[in-house]
Structures are given as structure tokens and as C-alpha cells.
Amino acid sequence: MAPTAEQKLLDQFRDGNRTALGLLLKSQEKRLFHVCLRMLSNRDDAAEVCQESLLKIVQKIDCYRGDVALATWMVRIAMNQSISFLRKRKPRRTTSIDPSDNSGQNDEPSTPLQQTLADQREPGPQRRVEQEEMLQLLQIALSRIDNDFRAVLVLRDIDNLEYRQIAQVLDLPVGTVKNQLLPARLALREQMLQLCPNSDLSEPQGGPHDG
Amino acid sequence: MAESYDTTVLMLGYLENDLLPQDRARFERKMSADPALAQLNEDLQADRAGLRRLPCEEPPQGISEQVIQINERQLLLDWAPLGSTVDAPDSARKRYQVHRWLSYGGLAAMLVLGAGVLTFSLLIPNPPDQMQIAYLTPDARTKAEERTTTETSDQLGNFRNKKTKIAKLQSVPAGTELNEGTVGGANARSEQQRKHEWATGRNQKARTATSPILASQQEAQTPALGMASLHSGDIITGQALLPLVDIHVDTTDTVQTRQQLTRWAISNDV
């Protein structure tokens, strides 16, 4: 099996090239931040946890033995850091879907996702606007389900990992991962129905099995 | 039950697109027969597609550089050779931790020792001579013991000289002016008589010392002695003894003599 780019950078770092470590972190920071953001649903928290994860990767990189892919190992650290952060953050934040609703627990003017979508929003077909709003709802619903379910969904549907890789990241048997996927999807659907009973995320064209 | 489990497995496989063709056809037949199942499958697929379409946001600028800086700062502060000891990091870290604990232990020992000395000096501000000698080194201890022995011998010698002098003076009749010849004349007295007279004089000394008035009365009875110059260890009467004090009596006035003796008694806490 040919070594991946991350593995090459790690080898260079172990050979004494200290700049390779920076390149290795740079190559993975976006992916790790994405995982953290989907797990935490808050950009500031995600940035903090992502930084902690990268620091932990640097500190523990000598413990990496190559039993799993380096990228998977790094995602595992980011996922564990995110779950630890969620467990420490006792009062769970909820995100209002109504921008004018400031009476809830969330005092932020808008979520990062809402801000991103608002920036990307252009005058266009109404269908596109509705889908963007549905994506906001989906992110909110994702933040409301159980941490274990969310981790499985993030790794499977957002990070596009295989069952085996998910099992390595979460340190679970592959069968357990498969058994958790459908309940996780059903939990997400339940939250979507609570947020918007008539939610419809189906695309006008194209099938779901694109990956 | 078995049918429900079968439906669950088929639905998961259908969503993940990893069913065999015959299983896929079987599940599609089920969905066509059950509109609710078909709707649920459609919603789950939509959710999955929505998750994949979530925007991938950029991380904060320079997050990796910050991590590298933090790591280097920790290296400088902790001297933990992190990046450069990939091959042998555990031994270096353990050695670093051992050195750190050794320095902490040494510091703690110094603090305990200082606190002990301070406590001892506060509790026992003036230790006895024997205890002081016990603190010294062997050489210094020997010297201190010799010095103590010498001092004790000197004090004993002075005491004997005074004892002899007193014995001589006791033989002088009252009213005789004191001089070296008078004192020297007493050398002829026998040692046994001296001891007896010394014992008598010591009793008298004790009585006189505890009662300066008695001493002054005796002084008044021996006016000739009032003319004498008395020095340390001398007596002012034939049998009254004043110990190691400097007292100068140069008057025959009994009132003044009494006052001087009273001051001496007070100053010597007699």
C-alpha cells in the first residue's frame, strides 16, 4: 500500500524536518475543523477544540504506531476532544431557527451556519432558499441528537468515512457502528419533524447515492 | 419480529447502497406495498443528502501556526524535548520528570530544615551549656570542655584564696587597722583552726548577708574597721564576711555605712 501524503509528511518530520509537522497540520486542519464544527455547532467552540486537537496531535504524534491511517487517527483525536468538550459543557445550547427570537437560551445573533448561508444567499429561485433553510434546520437537528448518534452521522455522512474507519475512530466494533447508524438517522429525522413537520430536503434532481 | 429486523437491515443497506440486487429489489417491493415506509426512506435519504451538502467552512486563519507556536513555547518553558525526540520521547520525558521531582524534593528538604532550626531557636532561646557543647564539633567540644574546666578551676582557686584571706582577717582583733602585715601575721594559724573559723565566719557571713542592718550594727561596734579600705572579698568586721563585691567604706558614720550596705544589698539582690 502506497504511503499517503500525511504519512510522507510524518516520515519527513521523524527524519528531522520540523517544517513537515506544520505542513501536516495544515493539510488536516480544515477537515478536523469541519468535524469539530459539526459536532459542536458553534464556530468559536469548534476553533478552540480544533486547536486543542492539533496540539494534542503534536504532543502524541510519537505515540502513533501506524495501526490505523494517520488521517483517521487525527480524526479520532478531534472526535474525542469534541465529545469531551460536549460532556464538560453541561448546559446544552440550543439554537433558535428564528433570527428574531432572542428570548431563548441562545443569545448569539446568528449561528455560523446561518451567517454562512446568509452570505451565500443570492436572489434566486425560491426552491434554493427553502433548501438553505432546510440545511439550517438540519444542522440544528443534528446538534440536538445524542452525542454518540451525532458522531456516527458526522463521520459517515459528513466526513465520508467507511464503517471500518468509523469503528477505528470511535473505538467500536464495526457491527456496533452499523447498528447505530439507522437509529441515528431516525433520531435525526425525529428532530427534523419537530423543527419542521413538512420538511423536505429532497433535491429536485439527482439521487442520494452519489458517494 | 423477524420481519421488522429484516426491514431494518434492508433499509440500512438501501440507504447505504450496499444491498445485493435481489435484496434491493425485495426492499423496493416492500416500499411499493407500504407508502409510509417509502416516505420514511425518502426522508432519510434526503437527510443524508442534506448532511453531505452542509457547507465546509474554513477554519480560523493560522490555527496550525498557533499550535506550532504554542508547542515551541511549551518546549522552551518545560524543556520537554517534544518534537526532537520522536525516537526516544519517553525516556527523555521521564528523565525530565525525575530531575523536576529531585529539585522539588531538595527545595522541600531545605524548607523543612529551615523551619526546624527556626522552631528550635524560638522554643529554646538559651540552651544550657551542656547542650551548647553537644552542638559543637568534636574539636570545638573538647576545647569548650577544657575552657569550662579551667574556668571552674579558676573559680575554685579564687574561692580558696578568699577563704584563706578571710581566715587571716578573722584572727585580727577588732579595731586593728588593716594592712599587709596584719594580714600576713595570720599565716601562722593552723589549718585546722582556719577551717573552724571559716565555718564560723561562713555562718556569720550568711547572717550578715541576709541582714545588712546586722552588718551595719556590727560595723558600728567596730569603728576602727570603718577606717579601713575594704576590697573584694574583704570583711568589715572580725567575723562578718562580705562576698565578692567591690565596696569601699571610708567613714565612721554608722548611718552612712548602713546606707552603703543597704545599697549594696539591694544591688546584689541579697
Q: Residue A51 corresponds to which cell in the numbers above?
A: 486547536
Residues from chain B that touch A50, judged by Cβ atoms under 8 A, are: 59, 63
Phi, psi of A67 (to 5 degrees): -70, -25
Under the banding of pLDDT at 50, 70 and 90, the label for residue B2 is low
pTM of the prediction? 0.51
**Closest residue to A135, CB basis, from B53, B85, B86:** B53
- Checking if the pLDDT of B207 tops 90, the result is no
Whether A182 sits inside 8 A of B12 (CB atoms) is yes
Other CB atoms closer than 10 Å to residue B18's CB: what's the count? 13
Query: For residues A123 and A108, what is the distance between their CA atoms, to the nearest angstrom?
Result: 25
Q: Residue B267 corresponds to which cell in the numbers above?
A: 544591688
How close, in Å, is residue B37 to chain A by CA atoms? 12
Q: Is the dihedral of CA B4, B8, B11, B14 positive or negative?
A: negative
Identify residue A76 by its one-letter amino acid code: R
Residues from chain A that touch B59, judged by Cβ atoms under 8 A, are: 29-30, 32-33, 47, 50
pLDDT tens, position by position, B21-66: 888 898 889 889 988 889 898 989 888 888 888 888 888 888 888 8
Residues from chain A that touch B12, judged by Cβ atoms under 8 A, are: 178, 181-182
Under the banding of pLDDT at 50, 70 and 90, the label for residue B97 is confident
Report whether B210 contacts B171 (CB < 8 A). Answer: no
Q: Which residue has the cell 433548501?
A: A131
Identify the CA nearest to B45 among candidates A155, A181, A208, A184.
Answer: A208
CA separation, residue B227 to residues B119, B125, B224, B257 (Å): 58, 48, 6, 11
Length of chain A: 211
Report whether A24 contacts A52 (CB < 8 A). Answer: no
Cα Rg of chain A (Å, integer)? 19
Residue of chain A minimizing CA distance to B88: A62
**Closest residue to A200, CB basis, from B16, B17, B46:** B46
